[in-house]
Amino acid sequence: NRNKLNEFLSYEISISNRYSFPLSLIMIDIDYFKNINDTHGHIAGDKVLKTFCNVVKAKIRNTDIFARWGGEEFIIVCPNTKLENALIIAENLRKLVKNTTFEGVKGITCSFGVAEFKQYETLDSLIKRADNALYTAKANGRDRVVKA
């Protein structure tokens, strides 16, 4: 849940601050998810969420933490990962989701915002920068990865 995610992210921030390890955050939003629920119903929307989660969990590293942030927004915490590598992870996930078949629903895409932790930055600041990048991705046409 969100509290556990904040707890884990706070821990990773403290490790990053102490040892100068890189840390990146990927924020993901399923594009036009409300339309899926409105057009196909909430059961179809739930199936999309489950399939999406299974696809992402199968692709990320076992050291990464993947959690639902709220609604159709998700976060991946990537310990010991520089921005350039987090961007590659996000782009690979973007392509994977776009090419995944979702039962009863066509054309699922996602938008991504990626930020690398700056030493002594706050948890809220890191999340805000990733969130701003995500909103830029959505404002510029969706189905894209934007760095903070």
Task: Please identify every residue annotated as catalytic.
Answer: 72
DSSP calls for 71-112: TTEEEEEEET--HHHHHHHHHHHHHHHHTS-BTTB----EEE
Beta-carbon contacts of residue 114 (< 8 Å; ≥ 6 apart): 24, 25, 26, 27, 83, 86, 87, 90, 130, 133, 145, 146, 147, 148
Q: Residue 1 corresponds to which tokens in the numbers above?
A: 């849940």
3-state secondary structure of 123: helix
